[in-house]
Amino acid sequence: MMTTKDAARPIYAEEQPPRSGPDDFRYRFWDFGDLVDRKIVRSRYQLKHLIDQHAFPRPIKPAGVAMQATAVWQVAEVMAWLDERAAARTAAE
């Protein structure tokens, strides 16, 4: 049973029911902390290096004052980049 307290709480991407099909992650985003938590990057320096040298997706800055907006990455783009890296590794072996 949903209480009034539950109704006021925001629903995060991890809590939403999974959707089927190719657009599962199209509207889900990760910030820098999410990339670190998932061990995709360890530091902002490494993130910049991956963007500059290894075609890691560039961040999206939501509308607003650019200096105050939190950069986010589309989950689908990050997952596609990881898949490309895995395919390249497999092809090299």
Tokens (6 digits) for 31: 């910030």
If one compares 1 and 35, the residue with the highest pLDDT of the two is 35
pLDDT at 33: 93
- 46 burial via Cβ count (<10 Å: 0-12, 13-18, 19+): middle
Please give the model's pTM, rounded to 2 decimal places.
0.66
The phi and psi torsions of 72 (rounded to 5 degrees) equal -135, 155
DSSP 45-68: HHHHHHHHHS-PPPPB--SS-TTT
18 pLDDT higher than 70:
no
- Tens-place pLDDT, residues 34-89: 999 999 999 999 999 999 999 999 998 877 665 667 889 999 999 999 999 999 98
If one compares 20 and 62, the residue with the highest pLDDT of the two is 62
